[in-house]
Chain A
Amino acid sequence: MSDELLVVRAQLGEWAAWAELVARWRVPVWTYVRRMLDAERADDVTQEIWLAVVRGLPGLREPGRFAPWLFTIARRSVTDRLRGEYAREKESLTTDEALVEDPVQAMADRAELIAALAGLPVLEREILVLFYLEDLSVEECAQICHVPPGTVKSRLNRARRMLREHLEERGYRP
């Protein structure tokens, strides 16, 4: 059953559709939250996100765009917790002209990637999680992060470079 059908049924108030929606998206939401926050806060924030989803779903006008809407809510809860870190980060768009070879595609070990992500600043970590771990498109990432697609691409490029440097420091050779 497609996400859109599940969302439409949940908007009509069908209990079974809610249970299925939670079962389907529980782990992806938690994965995003856990990659952005520590283990202590991840479960509480995930629950807070689901409460916001329950309250906000009747107003969702495009059921087909559930995933970006869900992650927009998730991001709001995460940024509330990391307000200081987000405020400190400055976008440096001028230094990223050269395209960086993708270190993530070459990584076979997901655990290694997850460990490496923890060492990156929030903006770069967030974009890698959304793009690679959640399989969202550049346009969806742009909608979630409230930035133009061009900024997502440059952020992704910078994040790949930082990840690569980080991995090399740790002695990882793809």
Chain B
Amino acid sequence: MTEEGPRLSARDMIERLEPSLSPWRRVRAVAALLAGLAGVVFVTALWWSEPGPLPGRTHLAFALLTVFCLAWAGYGTWLLTRRVPLFATDRVIAGWIALSVSLVTTAGLAGIAVQRDAGLGTALGVGGGFVAAALVLVVRAHARRAELLRRRRELTGGEQA
């Protein structure tokens, strides 16, 4: 009796895993989530701080834009939680991107508030929340990467000895 084996070679298997391991897919996922979230915050800030009563069509346009941005944020979240793994180095990069986007969003919100002379505290509060969340992500990502790098050094040293 001849023993059978897997039909897929290691190279075939890696090729099939490539979409999940692709760096571009990870970048796309992070970009979709962050752009969606920043968009939601911007559009909502503009909508709420619009002076005077707005016509129905403007409300509809703001609502549609918000839903559109929410959909992108949802797509990014789905990709990151279900489809695309973020490895330790990716998390560090994603954390810094999140922090930059949060700072830009906060500056934008503060700019709108100053221009319309209302809601600066709220703008800074919301923006500050995003910045704080991004900072936590950056710190945790760096700690995890440092832990893995330390373990890699220990194991490599052990093998060389």
0 or 1 for each of B1-44: is its CB under 8 Å from A? (1 = yes): 11111111010011011001100000000000000000000000
CB proximity to B under 8 Å, residues A13-52 = 13, 15, 18-19, 22-23, 26-27, 30, 34, 39, 42-43, 46-47, 50-51
A57 at the interface (CB under 8 A from B): yes
B58 at the interface (CB under 8 A from A): no
Out of A5, A8, A30, which one reaches B159, CB within 8 Å? A5
Range of interface residues on chain B? 20 to 34
A55 at the interface (CB under 8 A from B): yes
Given contacts A50-B13, A54-B21, contact A8 B151 (CB under 8 A): yes
Given contacts A54-B17, A54-B20, contact A13 B159 (CB under 8 A): no
Binding site for B on A (CB under 8 A): 1-2, 4-5, 8-13, 15, 18-19, 22-23, 26-27, 30, 34, 39, 42-43, 46-47, 50-51, 54-58, 63, 110-112, 114-115
**Which candidate, B49-57, B65-73, B79-87, B127-135, is the interface stretch facing chain A?**
B79-87
Given contacts A12-B89, A12-B149, A23-B10, contact A51 B17 (CB under 8 A): yes
